[in-house]
Amino acid sequence: MSKKEKKQKKPKIKVGKLEKREARAGYFFTLPWVIGVIAFLLVPLAQSFKFMWYNIRITPMGMIYNYIGIGNFTNIWHEDPEFPQQLVTYIWQTCLEVPIIIVFALMIAIMLNGKIKMRAFFRLIFFLPVIIVSGPVMNMLVSEGAATIPSMNVQSIVAAFDVFFPTSVAESIGEMFSNMIMTLWYSGVQILIFLSALQKVDPALYEAAKIDGGSGWECFWKITLPTMKPMILLNAVYTVIFLSGNEQNTLITMIESAMFSGTKEKGYGYASAMAWLYAIVITLIVGLFALMLGSKKDVYDRKAKKFKKLQKKEERMKRRVIRRGERHAKKVARNSRRYTTYDGSGDY
């Protein structure tokens, strides 16, 4: 067995001069980014990981580090009981808003993808918010009540949800409804991504489906959605990241204010601990969506593979049957010969 394995291994090819030169050029081209990653990502990441365990005070002599272990985390619970609460609310809000944005964007994209006059005009309107959304502008509009759909009674919605769900969930649902327009505003880029992906779906697929009698509804579930699946994942991740860095998000302003607050407990170490909690939550949410939406192969590939496997199996069975048949025939022939030799009829 081991011999066979060795044989199957590819013979090691020595890297040629051309490959080496190409690799060198590749490293050269990516060099600026590598330096940047080391300077602005990896080193700060390690540093902030270190900061997390310390209480840091800034004096004219420089920074003074005081190791306090998980003290920062317990301090967060003592000093800012709002922070963990907000974190939970944030998780609920993201998990609610992302599907809404995705479904809404897909809906709009499908409508725009049909035969529609003035498509450019509608695209212009739906993409407009991308230019505008920035923290302060949104805050202004929200504070003036321009972000609410006027005839929507948010209070009663929250009250209704409060009966069935914990308060944090009801609160996030209420916040989402009261800022419905803002939630929809975040879907500009997603609409364009879906639209451009929809336009690249092979029309022959739809034609074939129509000839086989598929309705529009069936076409959507069996063709559009499976082909859109990678784009849905892309958009989901984009939306999560966008919502996390958005200045409407109270968590990041809390981190900022903790960083520059003068009290003894707070400061860089405390803010780092907050930031790490936040980052872990975001990574988990992204991971969740990736698990839910990402499959390595799309449905068609998987089905085709399954079918091929089945075919192979059948072929194997067929061969086995043929072989068995041959064996059986031989046996019969042998036996018959034996019987002819031994039946003792005395024919010969």
Partner 1 sequence: MTAAETIKKKFTKEKLHKFVFGTRERQGLGQQIAVYGLLIIIGFIFIYPILYMISTSFMDRNDLLDSSVKWLPSSLYIQNYIAAAKSMDFWKTLGKGVIIAGVPTLFNVLTGMIVGYGFARYDFKLKKLFMGILLFSYILPDQVTMIPTYVLYNDMGILGTIWTFVLPALLGNGINSAIFILIFYSFFKQVPKVLMEAAYIDGAGHFKAFFKIAIPSAVPAIITVFLFSFVWYWNESYLTEMYVQGLTTKSEWTNLVIQLKNFDSNYSTRATTGDMATSLNESVRMAATSLSILPLFLMYLVLQRQFIESIDRTGITGE
Rule CB under 8 A: is residue 98 a binding residue for partner 1? no
In the bound state with partner 1, the residue whose beta carbon lies nearer, of 93 and 169, is: 93
The pair phi, psi for residue 27, each rounded to 5°, is: -60, -40
Which of 74, 155, 283, 336 touches partner 1 by CB under 8 A? 283
In the bound state with partner 1, the residue whose beta carbon lies nearer, of 79 and 162, is: 79
In the bound state with partner 1, the residue whose beta carbon lies nearer, of 33 and 342, is: 33
Rule CB under 8 A: is residue 286 a binding residue for partner 1? yes
Rule CB under 8 A: is residue 334 a binding residue for partner 1? no
In the bound state with partner 1, the residue whose beta carbon lies nearer, of 60 and 136, is: 136
How far is the CA of 170 from the CAs of 34, 141, 148, 185, in angstroms?
A: 45, 23, 17, 22
Query: Which range, of 95-103, 113-121, 295-303, 310-318, touches partner 1 by CB under 8 A?
Result: 113-121
Ranges within 175-214 binding partner 1 (CB under 8 A) = 181, 184-185, 189, 192-193, 196-197, 199-200, 210
Q: At what angle do helices 225-245 and 268-293 cross, to 10 degrees?
A: 170
Say how many residues touch partner 1, by CB under 8 A: 91
> What is the smallest separation between the CB atom of 104 and partner 1, expressed in angstroms?
8
Place of tokens 């005839």: 151
Which of 73, 122, 165, 220 touches partner 1 by CB under 8 A? 122
Which of 123, 169, 224, 265 touches partner 1 by CB under 8 A? 123
Q: Is 9 left (phi over 0), alpha (psi -120 to 50) or beta?
A: beta
Q: Are 87 and 281 in contact (CB under 8 A)?
A: yes
Rule CB under 8 A: is residue 132 a binding residue for partner 1? yes
In the bound state with partner 1, the residue whose beta carbon lies nearer, of 98 and 271, is: 271
> What is the smallest separation between the CB atom of 251 and partner 1, expressed in angstroms?
8
What span, in angstroms and rounded, lies between the C-alpha atoms of 261 and 59?
A: 14
The pair phi, psi for residue 187, each rounded to 5°, is: -100, 15
> What is the smallest separation between the CB atom of 301 and partner 1, expressed in angstroms?
14
Ranges within 45-74 binding partner 1 (CB under 8 A) = 45, 47-48, 51, 63
Which of 64, 70, 140, 225 touches partner 1 by CB under 8 A? 140
Neighbours of 196 (CB within 10 A): 12
Ranges within 20-39 binding partner 1 (CB under 8 A) = 22-23, 25-30, 32-37, 39
What span, in angstroms and rounded, lies between the C-alpha atoms of 78 and 110?
A: 49
Which of 66, 74, 85, 134 touches partner 1 by CB under 8 A? 134
Ranges within 221-280 binding partner 1 (CB under 8 A) = 230-231, 234, 237, 241, 244-245, 247, 252-253, 255-256, 259-260, 268, 271-272, 274-276, 278-279
What span, in angstroms and rounded, lies between the C-alpha atoms of 67 and 136?
A: 38
Which of 65, 68, 88, 129 touches partner 1 by CB under 8 A? 129
Rule CB under 8 A: is residue 79 a binding residue for partner 1? no
